[in-house]
A and B are shown apart, each in its own frame.
Chain A
Amino acid sequence: MFAKAIKSAALSAAVAICGALPAQATDLQFYFPVAVGGGAAETIEALTKDYMAQNPDISIDAVYAGSYQDTIAKVITAARGGNAPQLSVALSVDMFTLIDEDLIVPFDDFIKTDEDRAWLASFYPAFMENSQTGGKTYGIPFQRSTPVLYWNKEAFAAAGLDPNTPPATWEEMVEMGKKLVKKDENGNVTQWGVRIPTSGFPYWLFQGLSTQNDVILANAEGNKTNFDDPKVVEALEYLVSLSTEHGVMEPGIVEWGATPKAFFEGQTAMMWTTTGNLTNVRKNAPFDFGVGMLPANKRRGAPTGGGNFYLFKGTSQEQLAAAVDFIKWITEPEQSAKWTMATGYVAPRPATWDTPTMQAYAADFPAVLVARDQLEYAVAELSTYENQRVTRIFNDALAAAITGQKDAASALAEAQAQADAILAAYR
């Protein structure tokens, strides 16, 4: 009887297929998120295998960890259970959160030689803004992106616009948008002028608008936001006016995930979305399209986005050194070029763009250069302590204004007050 009870308790344990192996000095666990479709996972795994073939004493277990959200949940859960990976790719904006949780170590301890310092200095400054704080480097840019404007050249021509000239300013975007809107005989819109997705993480594309209006949403220390700045309010009013006043954009919250499809289906003549979509658009757009920088207002501007490499606490110096070596290797121009071509992410070092592979690729598909050139005007993605909560507050304010529940000024003032209450503890 008792034996039976024991047996039943052991039953489920018996289905275990394999247990976790104890880590050796140069065994590394590497979590990576996938945010751009199936091909990314294959490429990371293939690159990891290449590295291990060249470095037989280092073994890297590359673990697919879901979306960015899932990855950070998995990393923090594992770390709290005393089982953190040695390295992981996670959103660059989660840097303050990971510091606050005391989970990551800076790269500075492993930057010893001049060569190392040159490597660290070789990334685009726009990408390093989200990777450094307090004089230390916590993240190495890897799968980074920035939003650009895609336009349908055929729709432009049909509307009597020059198919090779995208709008350069806010006013032009509205004017061209009005010409591009098409309606059927019932007065229902069949083609919108422009589409700026606002679901999920509306702050990101909105940050394009706020930067163009010459205002920064949060300070570099990550403990003060600027949500109620009059220029932010103005940018939000412009976004809202696209649907309400000018009628050039679909009203309500505009879904991010359906945006490329809406573009392919001719539902919109222009769209703002990530460079991570370049490969997708090139393959699936049934018409000639153009890729340009986001339009300017007071200045040009765009946020950066995407993921960085982080190093985690709780591992030996030897393991961390091996992890840094791997990160150096995978950000080298050749590997980086493979990654960029497979995914559409922006190569984070100028050197990558000089490789023959990338030059051939850019010659064949010049649109990839737009994102690189826009980096000059790019700023850090909104990132603060308690980042996800603060951006959620900001997102809610944007959504409330877009859906007409609050006016831009009061929605943003409330958001600023809430953010202040949270961030006061970090000043």
Chain B
Amino acid sequence: MDRRDWVYGWLLVLPAMVFLGLFTHLPAIATIWNSFFSTPRGRRPKLFVGLENYQRLLDDPVFWKVMVNNLWFALGTIPLSIALALIMALSVQRAFAGRALVRMAYFTPTVLPLIAVANIWLFFYTPGFGLIDQITGLFGLGQSNLLGSPDTALFAVMAVTVWKEAGFFMIFYLAALQTIPPHLGEAAKIEGAPTGTVFWRITFPLLMPTTLFVSINAVINSFRMVDHIFVLTGGGPDNASSLLLFYIYETSFRFWDTAYGATLTVVMLALLGVLAIGQFLIFDKKVHYK
């Protein structure tokens, strides 16, 4: 190890570390610290309460509800959006009339801000005159209230998420597919391999790095994307569509219970930490850029 390496190494990481420290680590440490205190209100200073906030969390039915919701949300959105993204990318790989338009269609979720799109989806879901009910009405079906009943609200929110995510991930698959030499597949086909085999044996393994990139994004987003919940359901009915980050938001910025908000954040960090570190290990070990 040479001394010049030390100096260069430190100088190179310094700018990034300064910003990370100021806007991530210091605030994060403050957050963890705050989770051991009571929430200060204007007239009452904060008091050290030890693990009381954590005890409260274990006893909080809403916390457990949002954890379960988030689990279903992740299980429901991650595999589906990745699979759809891949199907979409494969479908526009070959040239056909209208391909440019189809590609643009897939691209729309990336461009339309979620704050605006959520209102459009709200219209789709509206009972009676909403788009879904207008279509099902043609077949003589009655009104549905997807956002307004606890059994379906979470699924309705998940559908919007899949729409947003799959369109976005499609772009990465599209790019990755361009780089797979077509002769690989053709050679296999000449040897009589069926299309499915070509895909699973050749295309899919070659797309593995992209799949991992996309899946890290998907896992993080499954805890991060809550913007549309504000518009669509506000977490209701009775927390049926509330997710962990949404609950943190409410606790911190509506109830201004910063200490409990901090406690919830710590749980979220721990959870994401376990998930992400697991993925990094796979990413680091399995994927070799050549």
Q: Are any A and B Cβ atoms less than 8 Å apart in their complex?
A: yes
Which residues of chain A (356-408) have a CB below 8 Å from chain B?
A: 386, 388-389, 392, 395-397, 399-400, 402-403, 405
A342 to chain B, nearest CB (A): 23
B43 at the interface (CB under 8 A from A): yes
C-alpha spacing A252/B142, complex, angstroms: 14
| Set of chain A residues within 8 Å of B8, measured between Cβ atoms | 1
B42 at the interface (CB under 8 A from A): yes
| Set of chain A residues within 8 Å of B257, measured between Cβ atoms | 386, 389
Please determine whether B129 and A262 come into contact, CB atoms closer than 8 angstroms. yes
B248 at the interface (CB under 8 A from A): no
Q: How many chain A residues touch B (Cβ–Cβ < 8 Å)? A: 46
| Set of chain B residues within 8 Å of A396, measured between Cβ atoms | 236, 238-239
Please determine whether B236 and A399 come into contact, CB atoms closer than 8 angstroms. yes
Please determine whether B142 and A69 come into contact, CB atoms closer than 8 angstroms. no
Question: A2-10, A48-56, A224-232: which one contacts chain B?
Answer: A2-10
B6 at the interface (CB under 8 A from A): no
Which residues of chain B (60-88) have a CB below 8 Å from chain A?
A: none
C-alpha spacing A168/B36, complex, angstroms: 55
Please determine whether A251 and B19 come into contact, CB atoms closer than 8 angstroms. no
| Set of chain B residues within 8 Å of A253, measured between Cβ atoms | 145, 147-149, 236-237
Question: B106-114, B120-128, B201-209, B215-223: which one contacts chain A?
Answer: B120-128
Please determine whether A265 and B145 come into contact, CB atoms closer than 8 angstroms. no
C-alpha spacing A252/B11, complex, angstroms: 60
Please determine whether B255 and A392 come into contact, CB atoms closer than 8 angstroms. yes
Please determine whether B148 and A255 come into contact, CB atoms closer than 8 angstroms. yes
C-alpha spacing A200/B122, complex, angstroms: 13
- Which of A8, A76, A403, A405 has the most C-beta atoms of chain B within 10 angstroms of its own C-beta? A403
B210 at the interface (CB under 8 A from A): no
With A2-B11, A388-B254, A403-B149: A102-B238 Cβ-Cβ less than 8 Å: no
With A100-B43, A250-B128: A5-B15 Cβ-Cβ less than 8 Å: yes
A261 at the interface (CB under 8 A from B): yes
Q: Please tell me which one of the listed residues B19, B123, B137 contacts residue A188 in the complex, with CB atoms under 8 A apart.
A: B137
| Set of chain B residues within 8 Å of A402, measured between Cβ atoms | 237
| Set of chain A residues within 8 Å of B12, measured between Cβ atoms | 5
B81 to chain A, nearest CB (A): 26
| Set of chain B residues within 8 Å of A254, measured between Cβ atoms | 148
| Set of chain A residues within 8 Å of B130, measured between Cβ atoms | 258
Please determine whether B236 and A258 come into contact, CB atoms closer than 8 angstroms. no
| Set of chain A residues within 8 Å of B127, measured between Cβ atoms | 250, 252, 255, 267
| Set of chain B residues within 8 Å of A100, measured between Cβ atoms | 41-43
| Set of chain B residues within 8 Å of A24, measured between Cβ atoms | none
B72 to chain A, nearest CB (A): 17
Please determine whether A405 and B42 come into contact, CB atoms closer than 8 angstroms. no
With A73-B253, A189-B142: A252-B148 Cβ-Cβ less than 8 Å: yes
Q: Please tell me which one of the listed residues B129, B142, B145, B256 contacts residue A261 in the complex, with CB atoms under 8 A apart.
A: B129
With A186-B142, A392-B254: A399-B18 Cβ-Cβ less than 8 Å: no
B141 at the interface (CB under 8 A from A): yes
| Set of chain A residues within 8 Å of B126, measured between Cβ atoms | 255, 258, 261-262
With A188-B142, A253-B147, A403-B238: A1-B11 Cβ-Cβ less than 8 Å: yes
Please determine whether A199 and B148 come into contact, CB atoms closer than 8 angstroms. yes
List 15 interface pairs A-B (beta carbons < 8 Å), by A numbering: A100-B42, A102-B41, A199-B234, A200-B234, A253-B147, A253-B149, A255-B126, A257-B122, A265-B128, A386-B257, A392-B250, A392-B254, A395-B236, A403-B237, A403-B238
A residues near B (Cβ < 8 Å) are 1-2, 5-6, 8-9, 69, 73, 76, 97, 99-103, 186-190, 199-200, 250-255, 257-258, 261-262, 265, 267, 386, 388-389, 392, 395-397, 399-400, 402-403, 405
> Assuming A258-B123, A262-B129, A396-B238, what are 4 further A-B pairs, CB within 8 angstroms?
A5-B14, A199-B147, A392-B254, A396-B239
